[in-house]
Amino acid sequence: MRHNPVMAKDLAFTCSSCGATHSKWSGRCEACGAWNSIVEEQPLSAAPTSKSMGTKRGRTLPLTDLATLEAAPPRTEAGVAELDRVLGGGLVAASAILVGGDPGIGKSTLLLQAAARFARNGLKVIYVTGEESTAQVQMRARRLGLDQSPVRLAAETNLRDILTTLETEVPDLVIIDSIQTMWADTVDSAPGSVSQVRAAAHELVTFAKRRGIAVILVGHVTKEGAIAGPRVVEHMVDCVLYFEGERGHQFRILRAVKNRFGPADEIGVFEMTGKGLAEVRNPSALFLSERGTPAPGSVVFAGIEGTRPLLCEIQALVAPAPQGQARRSVVGWDGGRLNMILAVLEARCGISFAGLDVYLNVAGGLRISEPAADLAVACALVSARQDAALPETCVIFGEISLSGALRPVVQTENRLKEAQKLGFTSAILPILPKRGAGAGLDLREMRDLADVVAALFGLSPEAPEET
């Protein structure tokens, strides 16, 4: 049989985790280290055309003239304050947004409510579903009280038919639910594969830029919590949003991890109710609403999520480990940073957690990533170990270095203002670089972790307690 060099050249191997391309298959991706993530695919049959570019082919524009050629992109507010906050002030025309989240977390509910709000504000909205029928979407809209909204529905998975319809209808906003169900007839692979996801996302994003239409893509999430498909899809779009939340809690967090038109790491807080998602105007009060009387291991942390100060409860539990096998369990925080805090407590403060199980939880299903929570976590751990409750009206925040020193954190004044607004009277924090913040609060400024442990629990590094 004669070898066909064209077919051999057309085959490629792509990592479904990071999108890296390899010349041959292997069990482990050399770019990201993922195992069994490399799949065989065929490249796109056609290269992007010059129509998708903002300028004519072969023509360049001086950077100094761009301000006069194109005005700032207009924004359209949805009327949902939490969604507009995450988007950076509203929806930008010709933008591409990728929304990911666990199955059943409420992505379709959120986008259907947003589509109804945008349509009522004058936008022409088309909701394309590839996972449900139009009757199912109409049933959900009726349950949410949105059945009279001027949103147009379509149940289709063929990308060519979808683009033809959009060329005819020319909407202002298109919602694709979900990108994994779309398939292009120019790509010889099954829907949901790396090739199909990348091709569909490329065509939809290019169409949005060329016609000035905003497009929202819904993406499935893998077991590790990342959006399924190659990472290159996240680089194609202008904004990447994650919809987070625990099934046992009614709170839902919409978090921006990438945004070309607004601040990244901004969050919007929603509450799941029987009539859909309700926005939470004061999330700090809601996260602390179920906090009871002061208990050992409970600490209120004053954090910052994006541009918003947010108070939440950090809970710790320390118990003897059976048969000397100590366990470390973390929910809502970084497990590696917990191990670092435990090491600093033992090395700098003489407090050992050897032979003890340690459980740490951020109440309400919230996830915290900023290092300013170090001091609150350390105080919660020592409080649980010593079985000593901290004052109910005290907030704690600060970053801990490996030497045990406390480092100042950003937006200290906003954290203290939020705490004072909710009735807190004192705060434990690093030494302030400038005076004037926290007027009206009893501020206990500390230099290092050993000072905090000695002031709150009466423990000193010179005479550590016996384990």
Amino acid at 141: A
pLDDT at 424 over 80: yes
Q: Give yes or no for a contact between 442 and 400, defined as CB atoms under 8 angstroms apart.
A: no
Identify the pLDDT of residue 58.
Answer: 57
- Domain locations along the chain: 9-41, 77-281, 286-457
Q: Give yes or no for a contact between 464 and 386, defined as CB atoms under 8 angstroms apart.
A: no
Residue 223, Cβ neighbours under 10 Å: how many?
7
pLDDT at 113 over 80: yes
* Cα gap 1→376, rounded to integer Å: 70
For the stretch 68-73, contacts whose Cβ atoms lie closer than 8 Å and that sit 24 or more positions apart, written own/partner, are 73/261
Total number of residues shown for the chain: 467
Which helix (H) or strand (E) segment is 241 a member of? strand 239-244
Task: Find, among 410, 440, 405, the residue nearest to 422 by Cα.
Answer: 440
State the pairing for strand pair 12-15/276-279.
unpaired
- Crossing angle of helices 449-457 and 374-386, rounded to 10°: 40
Tokens describing residue 402: 């490996």
Q: Give yes or no for a contact between 126 and 173, defined as CB atoms under 8 angstroms apart.
A: yes
Rounded mean pLDDT, 247-254: 83
CATH of domain 77-281: 3.40.50.300
What is the pLDDT confidence band of residue 46, given thresholds at 50, 70 and 90? Answer: very low
Predicted confidence (pLDDT) per residue in 267-320, tens digit: 999 998 888 999 998 889 888 877 777 899 999 999 998 888 999 999 999 999
Residue 423, Cβ neighbours under 10 Å: how many?
10
Tokens describing residue 459: 């423990």
> Where on the phi/psi map is residue 19: left (φ > 0), alpha (ψ -120 to 50), or beta?
left
Residues 6+ away with beta carbon under 8 Å from 130? 155, 156, 157, 176, 177, 178, 181, 182
What is the pLDDT confidence band of residue 466, given thresholds at 50, 70 and 90? Answer: very low
Task: Find, among 389, 328, 390, the residue nearest to 353 by Cα.
Answer: 328
Higher-pLDDT residue of 323, 46? 323
Identify the pLDDT of residue 342.
Answer: 97
* Cα gap 282→142, rounded to integer Å: 28
Same fold, 77-281 and 286-457: no
What is the pLDDT confidence band of residue 265, given thresholds at 50, 70 and 90? Answer: confident
Instruction: Outline where 41-148 has alpha helix (H).
Output: 66-69, 81-87, 107-120, 134-143
* Cα gap 244→96, rounded to integer Å: 20
Predicted confidence (pLDDT) per residue in 63-92, tens digit: 666 555 455 567 899 888 899 999 999 999
Identify the pLDDT of residue 5.
Answer: 42
pLDDT at 353 over 80: yes
Q: Give yes or no for a contact between 415 and 421, defined as CB atoms under 8 angstroms apart.
A: no
**What secondary structure, in 3-state letters, does 396-428 show?**
ECCEECCCCEEECCCCHHHHHHHHHHCCCCEEE
What is the pLDDT confidence band of residue 57, given thresholds at 50, 70 and 90? Answer: low
Identify the pLDDT of residue 325.
Answer: 83
Task: Report the CATH architecture of 286-457.
Answer: 2-Layer Sandwich (3.30)
What is the three-class DSSP state of 60?
Answer: coil
pLDDT at 44 over 90: no
Identify the pLDDT of residue 456.
Answer: 93
The whole model's pTM is what?
0.80
Residue 244: DSSP 8-state: E
Identify the pLDDT of residue 50.
Answer: 39
Which helix (H) or strand (E) segment is 430 a member of? strand 426-430
* Cα gap 16→232, rounded to integer Å: 10
What value does the mean pLDDT of the chain take? 85
What is the three-class DSSP state of 35?
Answer: strand
Rounded mean pLDDT, 386-401: 95
> Where on the phi/psi map is residue 421: left (φ > 0), alpha (ψ -120 to 50), or beta?
alpha
Which helix (H) or strand (E) segment is 449 a member of? helix 449-457
* Cα gap 38→24, rounded to integer Å: 9
Rounded mean pLDDT, 98-105: 88
pLDDT at 437 over 70: no
Q: Which residues of 65-93 are buried (b: 16+ CB within 10 A; e: fewer)?
A: eeeeeeeeeebbebebebbbbbbbebbbb
Predicted confidence (pLDDT) per residue in 137-182, tens digit: 999 999 999 988 999 999 999 999 999 999 999 999 999 998 989 9
